[in-house]
Structure 1
Amino acid sequence: MVLTRSGPAPARVTTPGRVVVGLLTLAASVGTLSAVDTGTPAAAAPGSVVVSANFDTGGLPAGWRAVDGDWTVKNGRLYGAAGSGSKKITFGRHLNDFRLEATVRFESVAEATRWTALGLDVPAAGTPPWWIATLRSGSTAANGLEFAQLTTANTWNVTNTAAAPSAAGTGRDISIAAEVHGINARWFFAGREVLRTSGLQRSAGGVQALIVNGATVSFDNVRVTELAPNPYIRPVGAPLTVIAHRGACAVAPENTLVAQDVARRNGAEWIENDVQPSKDGVPFVMHDSTVDRTTNGTGAIRNLTAAQLKQLDAGSWFGPQFAGVRLPTLAEQLVDLRTRGGKLLLEIKGAHSKAQVARIIDIIRAEQMTDRVFIQSFETSALTYSYQLAPEIPLGLLRSTLDADPVAIARQYHLTAYNPAVAALTARPAVIANLHTAGVALMVWTVDSAGQWQQLKGLGVDGIITNRSPELVDWNAANPG
């Protein structure tokens, strides 16, 4: 990824004061590298428990408001009854990042299409608009689970639907939960994530709620826990996330396993690489549309077969010590990350059909790397296909210039991160706060100077894509807080 798609190769840069590990050894034999810890870092500790209600006291907890319908507490459970329409009880407080969970049981339903819901952003008085995560009694229907909004016009805007893995029915306790980060939310049924959305429209003061429609439903163990923000959003005082542009491309040939390993061994948390298909459809790690600049071959990568690409020398152009380094396939890159450690910010480079994106997704899943890959692209169609095929993989949109409303774009394309060029972002830094409020991170490209690292850290940027990843790691260590 470069400031312009057809720009020159990044300059080769030395890293004074830092030892770049074993380049000659790595170039000679990538396969003999020793293993490193591949464990996933522990998740951020949850924040305060805002609501915890098991209804054992026999009455409604303080601060709960039965807006409409019949809400009673008996036998250690809260019962909500709605003969018709949607009946609500509100509680909690406005939160940007939280988990709402409950044990629910349909006691009776008018029909299998009737439902209960977790209210994710509901005015305390219950007036629309409000957002919910819906569970139908007939939960295995195609729309058994939903994210939906009741609009100010009193009409439904259903943004996402899915079938639950098992039937809720009646008389059965089901554990349900929703996790919300700004405009993003995840739906959990019996402990399993089943649906995501990036389409919430948050209010300034909406709280949590329970809602019933055409049913009598009982609830137990209602809990609201404040969460840390989107894990890709950098907490105040935390170091910038280091993203190694095409690996450690200043000291090793870009988009190779050697560059990847140098970056990893020198402390980069993420490797940023590009993927494109060969003539016979094999995804290869390659930035340019042709192999001319970074190999001893010529021609468009999409006109060369995998066998032909594998014959090319992808290291000698950078330095004689890298002679014989080969172009890696995406599968080979993921195997290296899975076995030796590291995470991948993967740019889908250039136009891809849905079938080509599907092959990329299949490889990520086959290598069991869905939790360590973040897909980004300039191509919105590639992001759309990725979301349709693998909504569990986070997405970032690359932009050379800022959109008029980045938050709206983030919602449209289900983004976890918005990834602009540094010049574009520094011209309009106010968008950072807007995106963070919406639960969207910012990963900025391509930034190689300590002065800009300092500026971007002060502005609140989350991650830096850089050609100088070893130096940024050292800069982070020298500039805590």
Structure 2
Amino acid sequence: MTIFHIRASVASLVLAASLGTVTASVTAVGPASAQPGRVHVSENFDSGVLPAGWRAIDGTWRVQNGRLYGTSASSSQNNKITFGAHLEHFRFEATVRFESVSASTRWAALGLDVPAGGATPWWIATMRSGTTAANGLEFAERTTGNTWNVTDTAAAPTAAGTGRDVQVAAEVHGSQARWFFAGREVLRTGSLRRSGTAGQALFVNGATVSFDNVRVTELAPSALIRPPGTPLTVIAHRGASAAAPENTLVAQDLARRGGADWIENDVQPSSDGVPFVLHDATVDRTTNGTGRIRALTSAQLKALDAGSWFAPQYAGVRMPTLAEQLADLRTRGGRLLLEIKGAHTRAEVSRIVSLVREQQMADRVLVQSFEVDVLRYTRELAPELPLGLLRSTLDANPVAISAQLGLAAYNPSSAALLTRPAVVADLHRAGIATMVWTVDTASAWQQLDSLGVDGVITNRPAELVAWNATH
């Protein structure tokens, strides 16, 4: 299956493209067969004409002096030129130069999932000429109702301005994408909704923009293993649990807003079999109720206050069901490191798997547990879901047990890992990631980063995001 962090290295295979004038007869290009490393588009516009298969949908597009120029007369015109094939995993890069703009808020964009005919919905990675604004860079959807759904924003480290070339790129893996500005990763999203058929595009809004060195390279399905030189994956322990009541939707939202790559949770069933998000065996510590979660009905659990214990302003916050948590992540963005807490029967695991599938979240969930039987049940029931084994002490041979269970990740405590840090490299050689728990200090993050750990589970996700940005 396809999951998540990005291998940036690709082969240098070049696809020779025939050149010619685009015509109205160009039709949509369907999904291409998977060929990681293949360069699907490589265009420097030295031919002097629009490349074959490029379709100018609206606005003025011309090739001149070895560059492609697009002009949009006003901010109401989202002018686009479409090309390429549908790819689930790809890197889209270009040299972009704002020649003139009507205002610093005007923008150019890389179209990440755009039908050949330009119909909505489509997704873009946007760059304003005033890139240092808080929304200088964006991931956004143009909906079927012709409204904007802006899912993620960030400020670039420098201003694009006008008259200067900027190297930009987006790397896409299914619903995940990363935005690179001048060689630096500045923004991520987990909210793309892919069409399964649409290709790529270039956009201009309220500006004249020139493009050069446009390249689309197919990537291998992403892995959990962190490529060298990329940041630690940030995993929010029970959400932003240092800032909000743990395992609630408000903690999840704070973690998402803080830039966490994953939300980590704990799932257990009520007495009537509904999976709820709760860490402890009882509700005593984190609600105004008492008793074992498995002895309380879903109605009883839903009546409890799960916020007041943390701070008065969270009074009335409720314990979410797993279905509610998955629905929130599906609609608002995010990935889930789903811990099945404690012993579960095969039927109980089956209900959890069914919820993941019903919410169409199989490509954004990694199941982890301390319980080997739980992982075996999950693998039998849902072989598409990646698995992680939680450990408070290291196994004698982590690679062997990972192979036996079919793991994607081996997830020890920080203290356990530090007894034998060489296991990280051993696991990586076997294609297995390491996600370490639960680490909240900069000195410890530095140590784990130096060991090559892939992800860190932390109560302070926003702080780890900031630490990543400075290191």
Shift of 1:47: 2.2
User: Counterpart of 2:273?
Assistant: 281
User: Counterpart of 2:173?
Assistant: none
Provide the alpha-carbon RMSD of the alignment.
2.5
User: Could you tell me which amino acid in structure 2 is paired with residue 401 of structure 1?
Assistant: T
User: Counterpart of 2:293?
Assistant: 301
The answer to whether the 8 A contact 2:37-2:219 is kept is: no
User: Counterpart of 1:412?
Assistant: 404
The answer to whether the 8 A contact 1:376-1:383 is kept is: yes
User: Could you tell me which amino acid in structure 2 is paired with residue 244 of structure 1?
Assistant: A
User: Counterpart of 2:373?
Assistant: 381
User: Counterpart of 2:282?
Assistant: 290
Q: Secondary structure at the match of 2:329?
A: helix
Shift of 1:227: 6.8
User: Counterpart of 1:260?
Assistant: 252
User: Counterpart of 1:324?
Assistant: 316
Shift of 1:391: 0.8
User: Could you tell me which amino acid in structure 2 is paired with residue 428 of structure 1?
Assistant: R
1:470 to 457, 462, 468: 462
Shift of 1:44: 4.4
1:444 to 436, 447, 450: 436
Deviations 1:226-275 (A, max 9, x none): 97696111111100000000000001000000000000001101000000
Shift of 1:48: 1.9
The answer to whether the 8 A contact 1:49-1:226 is kept is: no
Deviations 1:357-399 (A, max 9, x none): 0000000000000000110000000100000011111100000
Distance of 1:339 and 1:230 partners within structure 2:
22
User: Could you tell me which amino acid in structure 2 is paired with residue 470 of structure 1?
Assistant: A
The answer to whether the 8 A contact 1:45-1:228 is kept is: no
Counterparts of 1:223-372 in structure 2, within 5 Å, are 231-372=223-364
Counterparts of 1:174-193 in structure 2, within 5 Å, are none
Distance of 1:349 and 1:299 partners within structure 2:
17
2:422 to 425, 430, 449: 430
Which ranges of structure 1 fall in alignment gaps of 5 or more residues? 1-39, 53-97, 102-224
Which ranges of structure 2 fall in alignment gaps of 5 or more residues? 16-34, 39-216
Shift of 1:43: 5.8
The answer to whether the 8 A contact 2:12-2:37 is kept is: no
Q: Given the two structures, how large is their TM-score scaled by the length of structure 1?
A: 0.54
User: Counterpart of 2:10?
Assistant: 47
Percent identity between the two aligned chains: 69
- Tell me which of the two structures has the higher relative contact order, counting C-alpha pairs closer than 8 angstroms and 6 or more residues apart: 1
Q: Secondary structure at the match of 1:371?
A: helix
Distance of 1:354 and 1:399 partners within structure 2:
21
Q: Given the two structures, how large is their TM-score scaled by the length of structure 2?
A: 0.55
Cα 1:403–1:100, aligned 2, differ >3 Å: closer, same or farther? farther
Distance of 2:403 and 2:307 partners within structure 1:
41
Q: Secondary structure at the match of 1:276?
A: strand
4+ aligned runs moved over 6 Å, structure 1: 98-101
Cα 1:422–1:41, aligned 2, differ >3 Å: closer, same or farther? closer
